[in-house]
Amino acid sequence: MLADPRLADPMVIDRRLTVLRVLVAAYAAVWSAVRAPALLDALDFADRRFDPVGPLAWLNSPLPDGLFVLAVVVTPVAALAMAIGWRLRLTAPVAAASFMFVTTYRNSWGQLFHTENLVALHLVVLAIALSVRGRDRRWAIDAMAVLTVGTYLVAGIAKLRISGTAWLDGDVLRHQIAFDNARKELLGDVSSPFAGWLLRQGWLLGPAAVMSMVVELLAPLALLRARFAVAWSTLALGFHIAILVFMAILFPYHLLGIALAPLLPVERLGATVAPWLRRFRLGSTTSLRTG
């Protein structure tokens, strides 16, 4: 699927998957540890707010508090074990399942957060790849790449369905930036100090709106050639920097480049990762260990 000639080499496939495993799992470990207090806020919510979504849509009532607390504790531990390569056939599925569970359960109490969705999906793909026997794991890289570009494509389609071509003149974007920052200031949240300047530059909003659609709707082009992947990833990174600067919305998984990593030759990081892994006597990045 991902047209990268380097992936014709099984050694490159293994190295890239190893680096992806370290990056994604380490991010999940840090994120779930840092966000643990916010995740546990759900324990104080009234039961009437419980509206299960996604994989938990079948639930009729909240789960026992102890079960959720256990999952919040297990998630960063399992993700860290996955990152360092300890018993991957066990820890990778546990990390993926627990991360999916805690984020979905937290989202079932009202406001839907979407910044961690791609992390959860990437973890699931990696867990499957590390759990099944067999040497051909090229499909996992392809799947992660498709998931990455798919999230952008869906966002672009949603803009067209909601706003139509009216999005392209920049007026909808103007109102979105103004509303989001005004709401944050009213509620005492962090807003962008640069939003006011941008809103006064009306001539910039049209091109900015068009560029956002280009990044999102043309995302599948990144799957066609390696050079397209690099070019699109650069645009996508700039897109998220602009969102942070003018809307104070942080997508850390994307800004760190981890979301884009399946599209890029991150196996070159192996020279850096391998010594770190060897400290834990977990082998080099030349192969995916299965525990």
Domain range list for the chain:
5-279
CB-based contact 1:145 (threshold 8 Å)? yes
**pLDDT, one tens digit for every residue, the chain (291 residues):** 788 888 888 888 999 999 999 999 999 999 999 999 999 998 999 888 999 998 999 999 999 999 999 999 999 999 999 999 999 999 999 999 999 999 999 999 877 777 889 999 999 999 999 988 766 789 999 999 999 999 999 999 998 898 888 888 888 999 999 999 999 899 888 999 999 999 988 889 999 999 999 999 999 999 999 999 999 999 999 999 999 999 999 999 999 999 999 999 999 886 665 666 566 545 444 444 444
Give phi and psi for 189, each to the nearest 5: -85, 170
* Chain-centroid distance, C-alpha 272: 23
Residue type, 50: F
pTM score, two decimals?
0.90
CA distance 166 to 285: 48
Angle at 41 between CA 35 and CA 43, to 5 degrees: 130
| Contact (CB, 8 A) for 32 and 76 | yes
* Cβ neighbours, 10 Å, residue 195: 20
DSSP assignment of 161-223: HHHGGGGGGSHHHHHHHHHHHHHHHHHT----TTHHHHHH-HHHHHHHHHHHHHHHHTGGGGG
DSSP state of 106: H
